[in-house]
Amino acid sequence: MIPVRTCVACRRKASRSELFRVVLREGRLNFDERAVLPGRGAWVHPTPQCLELAVSRGAFARALKASGKPDPGPLENRLETLMDN
């Protein structure tokens, strides 16, 4: 059976391999590329649209149970790198 997750932005279900896991580290949002880092994770499609939607709606903070607004900078930088390749 293929693991299924829900994108925190668009709320569509997809296989784990189609989504990126995001974790909170020291107040910053980071991609968990291998999906092995400890703690709570949130899943998002690796597209600028889903990333922007999740950040603007505060979906990461809610899903990760973070107090305050996490810094999406590292996440945005990583997505730009992926889009360039």
The pair of three-digit structure tokens given for residue 70, joined into one six-digit string:
């996490």
Domain at 4-84: CATH code:
3.30.1230.10
Residue ranges per structural domain of the chain: 4-84
pLDDT in tens, the chain (85 residues): 889 999 999 999 999 999 999 999 999 999 998 999 999 999 999 898 999 999 999 999 999 999 888 998 888 888 788 777 6
Parallel/antiparallel/unpaired status of strands 13-15 and 4-6: antiparallel
Which pLDDT score is estimated for 67?
Answer: 85
Dist CA 84 CA 41 (whole Å): 25
Report helix angle 73-84 to 48-57, nearest 10.
170
Residue with tokens 């505060």: 58
The pair of three-digit structure tokens given for residue 17, joined into one six-digit string:
């391999």
Task: Say if CB 79 and CB 29 are below 8 A apart.
Answer: no
Which pLDDT score is estimated for 85?
Answer: 63
Q: What is the pTM of this model?
A: 0.87
